Structure 1
Amino acid sequence: MKMKTALLSASAIALLTGPVFAQELTVVSWGGALQEAQTKAFMKPYAETTGTKIVQDTWSGELAKLRAMVDSGNVVWDAVDVDPQTGAIACEQGLLEPIGSEEVFQALDLVEGALLDCAVGTSTYATILAFKKDAFADGPKSLVDIFDTARFPGKRSFRKSPVDTLEAALLADGVAPTEIYSVLSTPEGVDRAFAKLDTIKDDIVWWEAGAQPAQLLMSGEVAMALAWNGRIADVNANENADLGIAWSNQIRGFDMWTIPVGAKNGDAARDFILTTLQPATNAEISKYIAYGPTVVAAADSIDAETLENLPSAPQNSEGALAQDGAFWAKNGDALNAKFSAWIAR
């Protein structure tokens, strides 16, 4: 369900929070096309409006790095972009300040799943199946086609993580999207997912950074890959890659802002985050990357042609699965260990 509370106006936010500007704010994201889009849509306008110097850093979700900062009391990051599972795990481990309990965030009209206890979504993306159009006479139509080596031969690439990989395996094995996490919560379900992965293990090339799937596809090293849709849209637009996207059975997630425990500019980070959740500003992200907004009203500011290429478009949403960050917070350590052991075999 969508949150039913009314969207706060900018003036209402100002009354609740007051203007809180820092001389310098360190904002951390995932690099690449996403961070470039966030810079244009969010960071540059905020810096120009407030006079705040925004320093940027990148990461790949390495919680050990964040944990070391928090444990040492030397937190140099103020606002950090996470995916749902990383946010849920970091919150569970006490590395992030509460966000969901703040009245001002609770009052935002956000799409389902965009508000967690320690994180608030600023854009929605999808893990999709990307493929070389010239590799197949009749290309794949669904994410689960990555398991069909008979119809679609060749190497295929997955993220070197159980996240998305295990969900994709169960989807390909016939589990309905609504049942994925209940099945994956059982030992039998986990074994079923790895058994499905066993059927194509010899054909898998693993990737660890978001730019790699497009590079692997463009070089011809793989014929298809599970990838973040924004990365594929970016190389198609800017490098004439002409890669195809199969949207059906997409695994949908969020880019979510968080504030580390002990952040030196936590109040200013909240102010920055709130500006990215005003409808007109939230809609800006879709101008620069094929990610959708999280504020319901923001969709009204996006033109129809752009909206059609976003993960949230109705025609792209058949069989979509929403990532369950809470599941990964509870089961991530055990499944990561099992996944690493499986890869090593």
Structure 2
Amino acid sequence: MKKTLILSTALVGFSAAAHADVTVMSWGGSYGAAQTEGHLKPFTAATGIATMMVDSENPATPIKAMVEANNVTVDVASLEYADAIRLCDEGVLEPIDIAILPPGSDGTPAADDFLAGAVTDCGVSTDIWATVFAYDTTKFPEGPTTAADFFDLEKFPGKRGLRKGAKAVLEFALMADGVPAGEVYTVLGTPEGIDRAFAKLDTIKSEVVWWEAGAQAPQILADGEVVMTTAYNGRIFSAQIAESKPFQIVWDGQIYENEMYVIPKGAPNMEEAKQFIAYATSTEGLRQQAQWISYGPARKSALLEPLIFNDGKTEMATHLPTHPDNMKNALESNWEFWVDRDAELNERFNAWLAAG
């Protein structure tokens, strides 16, 4: 993948953003690069409106702080689905009228072209991504193959990487413990289910390396700090294809969801922000991003023709979370559950983590 310069600190990003007409805050790394190549650069070329990318480990936190401080310096942010719903409910985000979104390339109205749930009161889906786990094939040439294997330190010895937080970690632990995907949130909604998830995590706690930013997961795997790690599937794909890393994704137990473009309340360039989102989430905008990273477009019209990676030869279909072969034991992240339980479960998670 072509390397893209992305500002990596808030201080540099915000001082430079004063010269941009649309400032987009996203997650950095290969994902931020995909949005830059697929959305920001083409939008500027098409409209003449300048764009600037700034990074965050999780844009939801600084966006909320900016709005509460009445000092908003970002026009568009990329948020996880549950955060987009929660911050919309809290009045942190601007409503987005679906009428501003163009029809699909085949003429289908936006309301019918987007997949179910991909457009909300304050957000529009940029892609469908997944938390998966991946391993170094030089360490384990013949496996692992299941979520349960991730927790099997005897069969597959070595350090594990996990995202530092409750979301997607608790669900993954329950699936690894034998809970069917369709029952995960029912089980996790009970005290006994929560205890069960943490008990499963206890079995590998001493061997876990915790990561926070998406770019860290493939890095600790490449460095040999861990032998397998949960990660965002597109980050592993980029390491596999663009950097020729000996990584293998295990799709069993994947947890998928929409990523959303939103506009913070009081964004300095509101109309330009709406133009950007309309462009970026058009059929062509979604296809352009998907040619840089293996996240599935959220419009049906974007899938009418094959998607090819920017190397010109890699077909993306089998690398997407939504490919039928990858959905055999997949869990859709339940945004309603996490809007209601995020604070409580992360408090429990942090206490568990601190207990050593």
Assess same fold via TM > 0.5. yes
Cα distance in 2, alignment partners of residues 143 and 127 from structure 1 = 12
Measured in 2, the distance between the counterparts of 1:23 and 1:289 equals 25
Which AA in structure 2 matches 1:236? Q
Q: Which residue of 2 aligns with 1:5?
A: none
When the two chains are superposed, the root-mean-square deviation of aligned CA atoms in Å is 1.8
Equivalent residue number for residue 275 of structure 1: 279
**CA–CA separation in structure 1 for the residues paired with 2:20 and 2:219:** 38
* Residue pairs, 1:217-228, within 5 angstroms: 217-228=221-232
Secondary structure of the 2:200 match is helix
- Is 1:127–1:251's contact at 8 Å kept on the other side of the alignment? yes
Distance in 2 (alpha carbons) for counterparts of 1:340 and 1:35: 28
What secondary structure sits across from 2:294 in the alignment? coil
Rate the CA distance shift 1:184–1:302 in 2: closer, same or farther, 3 A.
Answer: same
Query: 2: distance between equivalents of 1:302 and 1:253?
Result: 22
1:58 aligned partner: 55
Alignment of 1:252 onto 2:256: yes
Displacement, 1:64?
4.0
Is 1:131 aligned with 2:135?
Answer: yes
Cα separation, partners in 2 of 1:333 and 1:62, compared to 1, 3 Å: farther
2:348 is equivalent to residue 338 of structure 1: yes
Match runs of 1:168-183 below 5 Å = 168-183=172-187
State the aligned residue count. Answer: 323
For residues 298-326 of structure 1, give each alpha carbon's deviation from its aligned partner in whole angstroms, at most 9, with x where no partner exists: 01133482212111111111111111222
Q: Is the 8 A contact 1:114 1:120 kept in 2?
A: yes
Equivalent residue in structure 1 for 2:329, among 313, 316, 319: 319
**CA pair 313-327 structure 1, distance change in 2 beyond 3 A:** same
Gaps of 5+ in 2: 1-18, 102-109, 309-314
Deviations 1:18-41 (A, max 9, x none): xxxx97111111111111111111
Aligned to 1:77: 74
Contact 1:283 1:301 in 2 (8 A): no
Tell me the CA shift for residue 98 of structure 1.
2.3
Task: Check conservation: 2:176, 2:253, Cα contact below 8 A.
Answer: no
- Report the 3-state secondary structure (helix = DSSP H, G, I; strand = E; otherwise coil) of the residue aligned with 1:226: strand
Q: How does 1:154-303 map to 2 (within 5 A)?
A: 154-303=158-307
Structure 1 pair 280–171 and aligned structure 2 pair: CA distance change class (3 A): same
User: What whole-Å deviation, never above 9, does each CA across 1:67-124 have from its counterpart, x for those lacking one?
Assistant: 221122221111100111222232232211223x644457252223322332221111
Q: TM-score, normalization: structure 1?
A: 0.89
Q: What is the match of residue 29 of structure 1?
A: 26
* Structure 1 partner of 2:114: 110
Kept in 1, the 8 Å contact 2:59–2:77? The answer is: no
Counterpart residue type for residue 22 of structure 2: L
Q: Structure 2 length as normaliser, TM-score?
A: 0.86
Percent of aligned positions with the same letter in both sequences?
A: 40
Is residue 147 of structure 1 aligned with residue 144 of structure 2?
no
Distance 1:158 1:23 in 2: 36
Deviations 1:251-286 (A, max 9, x none): 112221011111122222122111122212211112
